[in-house]
Chains A and B, each alone.
Chain A
């Protein structure tokens, strides 16, 4: 048995734990420090609004990665969870729950509910839970099929949600729900202050991120990985694999909902953009670019994509083309994504000089391809 690169053949639990610990530390230091650095510099070196966008989409992509990278399920309709949660939380925070009747399939049932606008945290919580229920319904339908059929069912259901959002009275159609109040966190902290809002978003993101890490590294996550690797074998060991996949789907949908609900409060807007199918595509792009099946990958992917959209916005439509080119390069040359490639390099414990050499000579790709495990 050839064993020239022990780092790739051997399971190195210590490395994994170290990579996570230092990676998480670096990420948190960066995100926590930015407002202070901006203050010290006297101007916005990095806009907080931009970072809040990165965090919201980062959490969205992490949730998506839980399903794709660790469950092996490619959903092509995840925008429905992001978007619907946005509509829910925007509506709850702005209007509350106000209706006199419930109309289902043209049958109206009189039911009078009048709740004033929800507080920010309650609006986010309730809409996250509601998105979880939506995830359960969609999951029950979609999980029975695999591969491209699974992707198509999720896409079809997401399109239904899109047209519902386009027509339904509460979503505001083309206008969306605008000027959503940010409100006060627990009635005390004024979220109209960007710095306060930023730290709140960071806290939500960190909660979601750590929950995903824990899920991946739990007894459940272990079974999920096994199912992804070889589903017939997992079944033959007595695992009811559909239940595991369904739970992964619901968790992913719920966390995508958390991201969407928070995002609507941050930008004080819920619009059709977030339920559109192109958003489902964008999250695939972020995840693959950053590194599918790596814990930090989706955050890195979100950062790069958002940076391109923000800082290259004067290129207009060319941003989409640039993204396309980056995507093609990534798929052809960096199959593991930004974080995946970085992790593979560090795992081999190269010296700094070797590291630079490998990075610039792209040699590890060739070797990795030669040694591709099956």
Chain B
């Protein structure tokens, strides 16, 4: 194998080839070839209904693809179960907040740590006190995202922005190689957006992040590569400066090609 080629395959952590999803004749995702480089923050943007979340669901196997393949670190994961994908180190978040509402904030993080450290744990005869051994690690993660003061609060009682932060903390507890974040700042106020953006940038160190995001200040601020989807297909790909000047992208967002300044 030529060194240059080997370097190339090493760099790509997640790759899809001809990924397609049809719902009874409606093509939601159409031959998407996505290549995510290791160690980058990659954004998936596009107008409503472009198929961004469907791509996410395909990548994490919550939906089976109609055609095409998905490779993670060179291995074919197209036939994996959702839990298997997670075990490979690809952890996703959800568009609607995905916390365990009646568990405490600490327990939310601990559930993730438990999976990470103990694997499948069916010990119904053991005391839950055994889990207290993970408290320090969980608190350290909460400290990092600024939720330590809420450790004993029911996750369901948290304010919206904090719920999303807790979600990232839970994902972080899995120490994933790759994080898939589905609209991490959706529905947040300005201060929260800035906080979560900084948080994503911080936790992305040493990992790969693929995120669906609408907020262009987040996308332009922290993302290395941007893929624009429209009606299920890739419209453009590249760094923000390049993509935002693409007339097709401007048209997709603005409805005309003469608008200046790119997607807002």
Contact = CB atoms under 8 A, between A and B. Distances in A.
B152 A11 contact: yes
Interface string A40-63: 000000000000000000000000
Interface residues of A, number: 35
B60 A225 contact: no
B94 interface: yes
B178 interface: no
A236 B103 contact: no
B104 A11 contact: yes
B187 to A, nearest CB: 14
A215 B153 CA distance: 23
A110 interface: no
A243 interface: yes
A236 B86 contact: yes
A318 interface: no
Interface residues of B, number: 46
B101 A218 contact: no
A222 B111 contact: yes
B122 interface: yes
B154 A247 contact: no
B253 interface: no
- Which of B124, B127, B128, B130 has the most chain A CB atoms closer than 10 A to its own CB? B124
B152 A241 contact: no
A235 B110 CA distance: 15
- Which of B82, B100, B111, B153 has the most chain A CB atoms closer than 10 A to its own CB? B111
Nearest to A9: B157
Interface stretch (A179-187, A226-234, A263-271): A226-234
B168 interface: no
Nearest to B159: A1
Interface string B79-107: 00111001100011110001111111011
B4 interface: no
Contacts of A236: 60, 82, 86, 91-94, 98
Nearest to B87: A238
A369 B46 CA distance: 39
Interface in A211-257: 214-215, 217-223, 225-226, 229-230, 232-241, 243-244, 247, 251
A10 interface: yes
Contacts of A147: none
A352 B101 CA distance: 31
Contact of A11 (B82, B98, B112, B154): B154
A373 B126 contact: no
A236 B110 CA distance: 15
A4 to B, nearest CB: 11
B6 to A, nearest CB: 30
Contact of B153 (A9, A237, A240): A9
A293 to B, nearest CB: 9
Given A219-B114, A222-B114, A237 B124 contact: no
Given A10-B152, A243-B120, A251-B124, A219 B62 contact: no
Given A11-B154, A373-B154, A229 B100 contact: yes
Contact of B124 (A9, A233, A247): A247
A373 B156 contact: yes
Nearest to B129: A217
B125 interface: yes
Contact of A221 (B87, B93, B102, B128): B128
B96 to A, nearest CB: 10
A217 B123 CA distance: 10
B156 A374 contact: yes
Contacts of B125: 214-215, 218
A243 B122 contact: yes
Contacts of B91: 236-238
B102 A225 contact: yes
A225 B100 contact: yes
Interface in B40-70: 60, 62
Given A11-B107, A218-B128, 5 more contacts: A12-B152, A221-B124, A237-B174, A238-B86, A241-B83
Interface of B: 60, 62, 81-83, 86-87, 91-94, 98-104, 106-107, 110-112, 114-115, 118, 120-128, 130-131, 152-154, 156-159, 170, 174
7 contacts: A218-B126, A221-B128, A226-B103, A235-B62, A236-B86, A236-B91, A237-B174
